[in-house]
Amino acid sequence: MTQKIWDIPGGVHPPQRKKLSDHQAIRKAPLPKRLILPLQQHIGAPAMPLVNPGDKVLKGQKIADADGFVSLPLHAPSSGTVVEITAHAIPHPSGMAEPCIVIETDGDDRWCALDAVENFRSIESEDLVNRIRDAGIAGLGGAGFPSAVKLRARPEQEINTLIINGTECEPYITADDLLMQEHSEKIITGIEILCKIVTPSEVLIGVEDNKPQAIQQLQQAIKSRSLNFDVVPLPTKYPSGGEKQLIQILTGKEVPSGELPADLGIVCQNVGTVKAIHDAIITGKPLISRITTLTGEALAEPGNVDVLIGTPIDDLLTFAGAEPNKIQRLIIGGPMMGYTLHDIASPIVKTVNCVIASTAEELPSPAPAQACIRCGACSEVCPVNLLPQQLYWHSRAKDYSQLKHHNLFDCIECGACFYSCPSHIPLVQYYRASKADIRAHEAMQQKAEYSKIRFEAREARLQQIEDEKAAKRKANAERAAKLKASKESAALKNDSEAPPNDAKTEIDAAVARSRKIKDVSEDQALSTEEKALKIQRSMVNAQLKKLQRQCANCPADEQEKLERDIERLNQQLLKLSPDNSPSAATPITPATLKIDKENNIKHAMAKAAVKKTRRALAKIDSESNEAVSLRSELESQETKLKQLEITLAVGHAPPTTKQGTAADEDKTLITKLGGEEKKLKIAAAIANAALRKAERAYADAAENQTAETDLRAAEVEKCKQIVTEANKNLANISAPADAPTAPSSNASNKVEQEPEQGKFQEKNSSDELKKLKILHAMANAAVKKAQRAAEPTTQGDPGQQRSIVEARKKLDAATKALNDFTADKPVEG
């Protein structure tokens, strides 16, 4: 019986050129020295590496696992050592590098244990699908869709037709042809396995009639097993091998736009994939090699090779006798849909069915595009009945809605339109770019929509908080009087009526207590245990508050129970409060560090406040009286800042001395130096701030073009002097900053002798480092911000610019000194 076939619209007949590579048997490619295995060789999520550099792997061993449903594992194609996991050029039209596992082969080609199946008929189909997935099988025809995903049972749709794609309609490629000729038995077994999984009522094997030998081999294999598979010879026409086109040819049905063949009850698999499935089930071998056509006129020995996945393409080209100076372009895949390779060090991946090394005469460079003459040659050959010329015009106009209206997304990018376009317009490139543009545009719109929702949600939240605050303020005011009267008694009474303020006072008390403790034992910091307790405390607190809230609006009978809970929690809270904390028993770090940090942060915040005032000032500097008031505010802010900085500085001094008496001498030295450095640092920062202020004022004046200018200039001059002085001090430190090297090396000796103390010190200095880093970052920020502030005003004012440059230089010197200091620390600690 001959199977009825349908025709597809359009199509072209490019020169076949299959003769180049179809006359010799499949050869085995030599084992390469290095195998490069991209983590993503399939459609879906990239695999997750399971190995680390240095690991020994065996042939067939899983080296990366699937990450998600649409993903595939990866296996070592040969035994050897994993040398690195790194970005490496991969075959991709972009020519970009992607993460790859690189294996150095050991030449033994030792297999790991394989899990072969004696009789696949006795295995559950679910298990078979899992084995196919575990073998890492992706569609070998070119797209690389994970086969298991296609095969996984879909309860809502029964599969009644299994189509095996052996068309290979692209010119040049002969890999499937040779595969069908040499491995027809395995292919037929593979199809039987597929039948076990999807239980179709008919099996159609589509092969173009330019492969008579392959058709004959398959028919023979089928006959010898008396199966009812149909080998259907198709007229040779490009692109009959496209999945949708093949379905149309063999069944007359069209896959509805936006749906999958499975929705029609059809599953389509490539012959290469079917053979890989056979290998995976019958021999247990995962997908580690494939048949690839090496062809093109720049090769002395074109032909088909059985090549390990990951083999670098330049190795293969050498194997096929490539003449490098004859190669003009290297194409992965066929000449109609393939892409050009950027880097010949790229490896063969699962989807590479052909490598064409073409000469300039063979596939000449594209002719310059002329205008579209709307001849319609393109729409004549379009296999999906589009109007390519209209798509072209709309692509150029970036008219996305028209493009979608003209079904751009149904274009299969087969290239038939370009092939026949007399004006040599790179139509497919237009479509690809437009598709990507539309997708990006839609993604952006989606993101905008999402951002809008988030923005509005935030606005609503802020509004709500604002409202709540207002309501609370009102309520608090009402309650204040009552509270004051009954404060003493209410403090300990856990009445259900008790306002949250009660808990708050308690917490406040607790905090105060903890402060006191800290003050008393300054050299005792929060231990990890203490921290945990603190967290616990806050959690209990939160729970308590929640309960109280609940209690306030629940029926009376439940109140009692809740009250009991509250009581219990309160006790817990009491227990957890720092009085009882067993901090003394645990290792200690200097508490001062913490205070320092707090001060630092306060400092940063104060700075920000200054900056903001300044910004406000800049805005309204023309309105003078307001400016004056603001400026005074700025000044007060700055004094605050200075004060803070001084506390910061002072805060360092006492610990230094205290520690000096408490701990050993080395420690003292380090801390002292750190403190000194910091002090000077701060001095520099203050000076810097003053300078900035002056500059700011100067700029103001300059802007206002007032007579004050001179006055201000003088002020700036004065400030500059201060800065210079401060910087001189700062510069001095760079000398002492070198000093710690010697004593510290002493310290390191000591540390070795006293491991206990060494650890202690390590901690100490790393904290110190952190502190310094923060300071450093702040200094950095200060310079940057000063620059930014200065930028708009300094144009055309070289004097001022110079002063800023000077200040910056000096600050740079200081930071460098700081760097030296901090850089030394880790080495010694």
Partner 1 sequence: MSLLNVSSPHSHGPGSTARLMKLVILATVPGAITLCLFFGWGTLINLIWAGLVAITCEALVLKLRNRPVAFYLGDYSALLSAVLLALAIPPLAPWWITLIGVSFAIIIGKQLYGGMGYNPFNPAMLGYVLLLISFPAQMTAWAAPTGIDGVSGVQGFAQAFNSIFPIFGNVLEIDAYTLATPLDVMRENKGLTIDELWASNPIFWGVGGRGWIWVNLAFLAGGLFLLYRRVFTWHTPVAMLGSLTLMSIIFYGGDGSTGNGSTAFHLLSGATMLGAFFIATDPVTSAVSNRGRLIYGAGIGMIIYIIRCWGGYPDGVAFAVLLMNMAAPTIDYYTQPRTYGHKKPKKGLAKQD
Partner 2 sequence: MEILLFAICVMLGLSLIFGAILGFASIRFKVEGDPLSDRINELLPQTQCGQCGYAGCRPYSEAIAAGDMINKCPPGGEATIAALADLLDVEPMPLDSEHGEEKTRTLAVIREPECIGCTKCIQACPVDAILGAAKQMHTVIASECTGCELCVEPCPVDCIDMIPIQTTSKSWSWQLPTAPENLIISDAGRGEVA
Does 549 interact with partner 2 (rule: CB under 8 A)?
no
Residue 361: DSSP 8-state: T
Does 654 interact with partner 1 (rule: CB under 8 A)?
no
Does 531 interact with partner 2 (rule: CB under 8 A)?
no
How far apart are alpha carbons 784 and 111 in whole angstroms? 60
Q: Which of residues 395-414 bind partner 2 (CB under 8 A)?
A: 395-396
396 binds, among partner 2, ligand SF4, partner 1, none (CB under 5 to 8 A by kind): partner 2
**Alpha helices per DSSP H over 705-754:** 709-738, 741-753
Tokens representing 467 are 């409202």
392 binds, among ligand SF4, partner 1, partner 2, none (CB under 5 to 8 A by kind): ligand SF4
**Which range binds partner 2 by CB under 8 A, 401-409, 536-544, 599-607, 751-759?**
599-607
Detail the DSSP E strand segments found in 339-445: 339-340, 354-358
Q: Which of residues 95-134 bind partner 2 (CB under 8 A)?
A: 96, 98
**Which range binds partner 2 by CB under 8 A, 258-266, 509-517, 753-761, 770-778?**
770-778
CA atoms within 13 Å, Cβ hemisphere of 52: 0
Is the link from the previous residue into 366 a cis peptide, with omega within 30 of 0? no
Q: Which of 499, 785, 801, 806 binds partner 2 (CB under 8 A)?
A: 785
Tokens representing 781 are 């920020």
Give the N- to C-terminal CA distance of the chain in Å, as an integer: 86
Q: Which of 605, 650, 662, 823 binds partner 2 (CB under 8 A)?
A: 605
C-beta of 412: minimal distance to partner 2 in Å? 16
Contact between residue 72 and residue 20 where contact means Cβ atoms under 8 Å apart: no
**Alpha helices per DSSP H over 622-708:** 624-662, 665-704
Q: Which of residues 191-220 bind partner 1 (CB under 8 A)?
A: none
401 binds, among ligand SF4, partner 2, partner 1, none (CB under 5 to 8 A by kind): partner 1
Q: Which of 161, 174, 181, 389 binds partner 1 (CB under 8 A)?
A: 389
Does 466 interact with partner 2 (rule: CB under 8 A)?
no
Does 517 interact with partner 2 (rule: CB under 8 A)?
no
Contact between residue 129 and residue 168 where contact means Cβ atoms under 8 Å apart: no
Does 604 interact with partner 2 (rule: CB under 8 A)?
yes
Q: Which of 158, 449, 519, 567 binds partner 2 (CB under 8 A)?
A: 449
Cβ closest to partner 2, residue 360 vs residue 777: 777
**615 phi and psi angles, rounded to 5 deg:** -60, -45
Q: Which of 68, 107, 376, 587 binds partner 1 (CB under 8 A)?
A: 376
Question: Taken in order 40, 41, 44, 50, is the CA torsion positive or negative?
Answer: negative
Contact mark string toward partner 1, 77..116, x via CB under 8 A? ----------------x-x---------------------
DSSP states along 153-189: --TT----EEEEE----SSS--HHHHHHHH-HHHHHH
**Which range binds partner 2 by CB under 8 A, 303-311, 450-458, 720-728, 807-815?**
450-458
Cβ closest to partner 1, residue 77 vs residue 383: 383
Closest of 280, 341, 291 to residue 73, by C-alpha: 280
Does 436 interact with partner 2 (rule: CB under 8 A)?
yes
Does 587 interact with partner 1 (rule: CB under 8 A)?
no
Does 437 interact with partner 1 (rule: CB under 8 A)?
no
331 binds, among partner 1, partner 2, ligand SF4, none (CB under 5 to 8 A by kind): partner 1
Which SS3 state, helix, strand or coil, does residue 407 take? coil
Question: For residue 110, how many other CB atoms are within 10 A of its CB?
Answer: 15
**Which range binds partner 1 by CB under 8 A, 120-128, 403-411, 610-618, 766-774?**
403-411
Q: Which of residues 360-379 bind partner 2 (CB under 8 A)?
A: 368-371
**Which range binds partner 2 by CB under 8 A, 22-30, 209-217, 305-313, 600-608?**
600-608
Contact between residue 214 and residue 275 where contact means Cβ atoms under 8 Å apart: no
C-beta of 379: minimal distance to partner 1 in Å? 6
Does 223 interact with partner 2 (rule: CB under 8 A)?
no
321: phi > 0 → left, psi -120 to 50 → alpha, else beta; which?
Answer: left
Cβ closest to partner 1, residue 136 vs residue 296: 296
Q: Which of residues 408-427 bind partner 1 (CB under 8 A)?
A: 410, 413, 415, 418-424, 426
C-beta of 629: minimal distance to partner 2 in Å? 24
96 binds, among partner 1, ligand SF4, partner 2, none (CB under 5 to 8 A by kind): partner 2
DSSP states along 744-801: HHHHHHHHHH-HHHHHHHHHHHHHHHHHHHHHHHHHHHHHHHHHHHHHHHHTT-HHHH
Contact between residue 128 and residue 384 where contact means Cβ atoms under 8 Å apart: no
611 Cβ neighbours under 8 A, 6+ residues apart: 785
Q: Which of 9, 53, 93, 376 binds partner 2 (CB under 8 A)?
A: 93
Q: Which of 158, 263, 456, 812 binds partner 2 (CB under 8 A)?
A: 456
Identify residue 600 by its one-letter amino acid code: N
* Distance set, CA 390 to CA 257, 332, 420, 767 (Å): 19, 30, 16, 67
411 Cβ neighbours under 8 A, 6+ residues apart: 384, 386, 388, 391, 431, 435
Q: Return residues touching ligand SF4 (CB under 6 A).
A: 372-378, 381-384, 386, 388-389, 392, 411-417, 421-423, 425, 427-428
DSSP states along 223-282: HHTT---EEEEE---BTTTSHHHHHHHHHS--PPTT--GGGGTEEEEEHHHHHHHHIIII
Does 464 interact with partner 2 (rule: CB under 8 A)?
no
C-beta of 420: minimal distance to ligand SF4 in Å? 6
6 binds, among partner 1, partner 2, ligand SF4, none (CB under 5 to 8 A by kind): none
Q: What is the largest CA-CA distance in the chain?
A: 108
Which SS3 state, helix, strand or coil, does residue 388 take? helix
Residue 577: DSSP 8-state: S
Q: Which of residues 289-348 bind partner 1 (CB under 8 A)?
A: 324-325, 327-331, 333, 335-342, 344
282 binds, among ligand SF4, partner 2, partner 1, none (CB under 5 to 8 A by kind): none
Counting every residue, how long is the chain?
A: 829
Q: Which of residues 347-366 bind partner 1 (CB under 8 A)?
A: 356, 358, 363-366
Residue 815: DSSP 8-state: H
Burial 621-643 (b: 16+ CB within 10 A, else e): beeeeebeebbeebeebbeebbe
C-beta of 9: minimal distance to ligand SF4 in Å? 10
Cβ closest to ligand SF4, residue 64 vs residue 384: 384
248 binds, among ligand SF4, partner 2, partner 1, none (CB under 5 to 8 A by kind): partner 1
Site residue total, partner 2 (CB under 8 A): 51
Does 432 interact with partner 2 (rule: CB under 8 A)?
yes
Does 174 interact with partner 1 (rule: CB under 8 A)?
no
- Four-point Cα dihedral 729, 730, 736, 738, nearest 10: -160
Cβ closest to partner 2, residue 301 vs residue 456: 456
Does 389 interact with partner 2 (rule: CB under 8 A)?
no
Q: Which of residues 235-294 bind partner 1 (CB under 8 A)?
A: 244, 248, 254-259
Binding site for partner 2 (CB under 8 A): 90, 92-94, 96, 98, 368-371, 395-396, 425-426, 429-430, 432-437, 440, 444, 447-452, 454-459, 597, 600-601, 604-605, 607-608, 773-774, 777-778, 780-781, 784-785
